Amino acid sequence: MSNWVFFRNLTWYLTVLVLGASLLLTLPLVAQAQERRCALCHAKKDLRAKDAATGKERSLYVDETVFHGSAHGKLACVDCHLDTLDLPHGKRLKKVNCGACHYRGRTFGQGPAIEYLLYRDSVHAKERQKGNMKAPDCASCHGTHDVLNRTDIHSRGYKLNIPEQMCGKCHQKELADWKASVHGPATHKGDLNLPVCTNCHTEHGIRRAADPGSTVYATNIVEMCIKCHGDFSMMNQYGKKTEEVESYYESFHGVATKFGEKNIAHCASCHGYHLIKASTDPASSINPANLPATCGQPKCHPGATANFGKGKVHVNPHSKESGIIYWIALGFKWLTITVLVVLFIHIFLDFLRKLQEKKKKVS
């Protein structure tokens, strides 16, 4: 009896074990088989279809090697293409919603992702909401099946690739200006300190320059520039100083900007935006020869002459290099101190004397 029971139980155990093991072993095969089923069509290089949005025919080929090498290479097709209920899918699939994984409350992978929220308020998202489909969504910048981690030098999101492979695809004039500027790769030659588009405009939450929330809005842009130009150790690497920042904040322009005035010269008003050039460059807006035109903009100092270029612009009265300005400032400083000391000595002595007189009078 007991033998029979034992034997029956063992049969059950073995059945469950074998079934379970085979199921576990076949699941990846099932998944792979599903992917193989996608590949049945999408591995064909000549698979093309008409795009409903643009009306143009485009390739639907997916290079599997590229996909498996991408940041998402371990995912299955259906992990992103969630609306594939049946294969082959009959209807056109929806655009992939990256926010299905890249959301703020994410607890897996790289943790919380706020890019979606930032993008939602950006000029690009707002343009798309208005119906301008030329404005980019995630895939426009990051690509689709070939997304790479930004630390990969072949990634579009790798710092040095951003201008050419992301923003510059649409913003071609800005790209050309930036390339010709002191901030461009020609001067920096692979240096990772160089500012690319995203350093000033931010990455996902890009806003119009006229939007007060923008990092390049008139009253915010100085803060943007001084992230590097106010960084002593970074500027030191290039033999530059940071005193321009202090002297700007001491100037009438700087004070007014600090108090939120918008129609006052900030860094870019004189130095330009994308096409910033060294003052020694004859084409630079701050070359002494061009200063009359730069300072003489109709809203600023119309009628400016060559005198605007005579003397240091970012003058620092506390630096000996400022010459006479330094010495006069120093002289005044000591005059003020001397006057104060003499006045207080006089007041102190006079006070004691008059107090004495008063006491005498009372007594």
Partner 1 sequence: MADNTGYVERFTLSERVTHILLFASLIILSITGLTLKYHESTVAQWIIRLEGGVLFRGQIHRFAALVLMATFAYHILSVLFSRKEHEFFHDMILRKKDFGCFVGIFKYNLGLQKEMPAFDRFSCIEKFQYWAVGIGTVLLSLSGLVLWGETIFMMLFPKWVLDLNRIVHSFEATVGFLVLVVWHQYNVHLNPRVFPMSKVWLTGKISKEDLKRDHPLEYQRRFPHE
The nearest distance, CB 349 to partner 1, in angstroms, is 4
Report yes or no: 202 and 167 within 8 Å, Cβ to Cβ.
Answer: no
User: What x-and-dash track marks residues 276-315 binding partner 1 by CB under 8 A?
Assistant: -------------------------xxxxx-xxxxxxx-x
Give the residue among 197, 210, 52, 53 at the shortest CA–CA distance from 126: 210
E-strand spans in the chain?
48-50, 57-59
Asked if 27 is part of the footprint of partner 1 (rule: CB under 8 A), the reply reads no
**H/E element, 354:** helix 324-362
Closer of 36 and 258 to partner 1 (Cβ): 258
**Closer CB to partner 1, 73 or 296, in the complex:** 296
Query: Considering only 81-89, 103-111, 186-194, 330-338, which stretch makes contact with partner 1 by CB under 8 A?
Result: 330-338
Report CA torsion sign: 25, 26, 29, 30: negative
Q: Kindly write down the DSSP assignment for every residue of 167-231, as one continuous string.
A: GGGT-HHHHHHHHHSTTSHHHHTT-TTS--HHHHH-SSS---TTSTTSTTSTTTHHHHHHHHHT-
Q: Is the link from the previous residue into 88 a cis peptide, with omega within 30 of 0? A: yes
Nearest Cα neighbor of 143 from 202, 70, 201, 199 is 70
Judged by CB, which is closer to partner 1: 79, or 350?
A: 350
Number of residues that bind partner 1 (CB under 8 A): 45
**353 belongs to the binding site for partner 1 (CB under 8 A):** yes
The SS3 call for residue 96 is coil
Q: Is there binding between residue 262 and partner 1 (CB under 8 A)? A: no
CA distances (Å), 21 to each of 12, 17, 18, 25, in order?
A: 14, 6, 5, 6
Nearer to partner 1, 98 or 286 (CB): 286
Q: Does 352 bind partner 1 (CB under 8 A)?
A: yes
Among the listed residues 16, 30, 114, 255, the single contact to partner 1 using CB under 8 A: 255
Q: Of 60, 108, 100, which is closest to residue 78 (Cα–Cα)?
A: 100
Count of Cβ atoms closer than 10 Å to residue 113 Cβ: 18
Answer for which of 324, 360, 362, 363 binds partner 1 (CB under 8 A) is 324
Q: Which is nearer to partner 1, 185 or 292 (CB)?
A: 292
**Please, which residues have CB within 8 angstroms of residue 332's CB and are 6 or more apart in sequence?**
none
- Residue nearer to partner 1 on the CB measure, 20 or 260: 260
Kindly state whether residue 36 participates in binding partner 1, applying the rule CB under 8 A.
no
The piece of 152-160, 188-196, 237-245, 256-264 that touches partner 1 (CB under 8 A) is: 256-264
Q: Which of 333, 341, 362, 363 binds partner 1 (CB under 8 A)?
A: 333
Question: Of 336, 341, 360, 363, which lies in the binding site for partner 1, with binding defined by CB under 8 A?
Answer: 336
Phi, psi values for residue 227, rounded to 5°: -55, -40
Residue ranges in contact with partner 1 by CB under 8 A: 255-256, 258-261, 301-305, 307-313, 315, 317, 322-325, 328-329, 332-333, 335-336, 339-340, 343-344, 346-347, 349-355, 357-358
